[in-house]
């Protein structure tokens, strides 16, 4: 089977690593890929957002199945475009992408279908938003409505912080059209986790859970990022808690989609927080998370390509989605300045100096080849992944990797999985 994987981050390297293990795979193409994916398949220099060129490539290369990693092509309608050409693809359609692409519409969906979520109001006018923020207690959460690569969320502790954020979003248009509308919601206290579900439009199946570390600095300080690390399984999550998440959130979500006549085919990410009152939805993502995928995929006890094939063929009910008992810990090495401005093009030392074991993996995120050398090409550069019988063992292996690699300005959190 010829497979096209769309995307260029650590998530896509992890997916490519798992797909490469499948007996069903003939050839793997990654568009546009990174220096890590180039070792597993053939990188194709087509941006993930150029969905028309991707369709042409899939037709020319007789691609049997396309798998989409990031959210942008999904929101642009890559599934709809490929289906028009009768090309098999695993990605939700544009019509359901609002679950991630619009925080306002996702909130409306949650409220309409009585799914637990924080109370909120949305605004397009700065003065009205600021007046509302002034009337609330702090901290509060402010979100850009549209896609912002995981950086469009601010937890404001004071009115001054809230107003600065609102000005940045609504007046300065920090995220362009994505911040023309904002959501202000109550701050929920609890522990965050991510739950991943596969759906073929007829049935759904739980794939696993992970805990993400969003803040840039140790102790959950600093700005929100796309994710600085993750652990799976979630150490504090019990079977009883997962059953409650299923009953109160997952089942009502798919019931709500059915009521609205929406068919969901692909991966659905539930960003949750466990409070004293039980689970609440923070956000939906219409794809695998990053860096949660990096800790989830190595724990899969099944053929990932077979899973995607069954999703595409609407035979998901035939899949047994087992998980290995190991713990996986991922620590992200980022560029200096991330998640704001950062420099690129720095040589990465130590990537090939020491062979890694089967329990120690490096997934590339923002990397590229330059003059036959691997250099930095993004904000999040490398994902160091350790597998072990316990969180401490997995964590130790992840950080041992970060001791052997280096690039100018390299930054990573030292408290992942503590």
DSSP 187-233: PPPSEEEEEEEEEESS-EEEEEEEEE--EEETTTEEEE-S-SEEEES
Phi, psi of 194 (to 5 degrees): -125, 135
β-sheet bridge partners, residue 230: 212, 330
Name the nearest CA neighbour of 377 among 407, 400, 352, 401.
407
pLDDT tens-digit profile of 302-332? 999 999 999 999 999 999 999 999 999 999 9
Domains and CATH numbers, the chain: 2-91 (3.40.50.20), 119-186 (3.30.1490.20), 191-318 (3.30.470.20), 327-404 (3.90.600.10)
For residue 355, the model assigns a pLDDT of 56
pLDDT tens-digit profile of 114-158? 999 999 999 999 999 999 999 888 999 999 999 887 778 899 999
Name the nearest CA neighbour of 256 among 96, 119, 86.
96
Give, for 283, the enclosing helix (H) or strand (E): strand 278-285
Name the nearest CA neighbour of 99 among 251, 290, 273, 262.
262
How far is the C-alpha of 324 from the C-alpha of 361, rounded, in Å? 16
β-sheet bridge partners, residue 340: none
The mean per-residue pLDDT over the stretch 178-184 comes to: 91
User: What's 72-113 look like in SS3?
Assistant: HHHHHCHHHHHHHCCCCEECCCHHHCHHHHCHHHHHHHHHHC
Q: Is the pLDDT of residue 86 over 70?
A: yes
The single-letter DSSP state of residue 261 is T
pTM of the model: 0.94
Contact between residue 279 and residue 273 where contact means Cβ atoms under 8 Å apart: yes
Q: Sign of the C-alpha dihedral, residues 252, 258, 260, 262?
A: positive
Contacts of 51 (CB under 8 A, 6+ apart): 73, 76, 77, 78, 81
For residue 152, the model assigns a pLDDT of 86
Name the nearest CA neighbour of 35 among 318, 362, 403.
362
pLDDT tens-digit profile of 342-381? 999 999 999 875 557 789 999 999 999 999 999 999 999 9
Q: Is the pLDDT of residue 182 over 80?
A: yes
Neighbours of 45 (CB within 10 A): 8
Question: Which single residue is written with the structure tokens 């004293």?
Answer: 276
């Amino acid at each position: 089977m010829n497979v096209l994987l769309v995307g260029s981050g650590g998530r896509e390297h992890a997916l490519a690593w798992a797909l490469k293990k499948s007996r069903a795979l003939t050839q793997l193409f990654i568009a546009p890929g990174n220096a890590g994916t180039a070792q597993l398949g053939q990188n194709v220099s087509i941006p993930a957002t150029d969905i028309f060129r991707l369709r042409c490539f899939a037709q020319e290369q007789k691609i049997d199945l396309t798998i989409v990693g990031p959210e942008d092509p999904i929101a642009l309608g890559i599934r709809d475009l490929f289906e028009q050409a009768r090309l098999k693809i695993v990605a939700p359609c544009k019509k359901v992408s609002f679950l991630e692409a619009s925080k306002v519409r996702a909130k409306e969906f949650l409220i309409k279908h009585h799914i637990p979520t924080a109370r909120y109001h949305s605004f397009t006018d700065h003065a009205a938003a600021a007046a509302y923020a002034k009337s609330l207690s702090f901290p509060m959460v402010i979100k850009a409505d549209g896609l912002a690569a995981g950086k469009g969320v601010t937890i404001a502790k004071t009115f001054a912080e809230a107003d600065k954020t609102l000005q940045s979003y609504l007046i300065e248009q920090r995220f362009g059209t994505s911040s023309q509308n904002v959501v202000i919601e109550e701050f929920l206290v609890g522990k965050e986790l991510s739950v991943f579900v596969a759906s073929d439009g007829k049935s759904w199946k739980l794939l696993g859970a992970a805990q993400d570390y969003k803040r840039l600095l140790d102790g959950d300080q600093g700005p929100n990022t796309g994710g600085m690390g993750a652990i799976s399984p979630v150490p504090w999550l019990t079977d009883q808690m997962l059953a409650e998440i299923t009953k109160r959130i997952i089942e009502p979500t798919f019931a709500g989609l059915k009521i609205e006549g929406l068919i969901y085919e692909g991966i659905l990410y539930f960003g949750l927080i466990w409070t004293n009152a039980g689970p609440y939805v923070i956000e939906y993502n219409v794809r695998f998370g990053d860096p949660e995928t990096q800790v989830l995929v190595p724990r899969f006890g099944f053929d990932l390509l077979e899973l995607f094939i069954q999703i595409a063929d609407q035979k998901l009910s035939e899949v047994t989605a087992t998980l290995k008992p190991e713990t996986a810990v991922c620590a992200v090495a980022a560029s200096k300045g991330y998640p704001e401005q950062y420099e690129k093009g720095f040589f990465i030392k130590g990537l090939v100096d020491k062979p890694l074991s089967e329990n120690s993996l490096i997934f590339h995120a923002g990397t590229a080849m330059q003059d036959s050398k691997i250099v930095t090409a993004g904000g999040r550069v490398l994902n160091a992944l350790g597998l072990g019988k316990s969180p401490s063992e997995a964590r130790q292996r992840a950080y041992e990797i970060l001791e052997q690699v280096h690039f100018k300005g390299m930054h990573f959190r030292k408290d992942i999985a503590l």
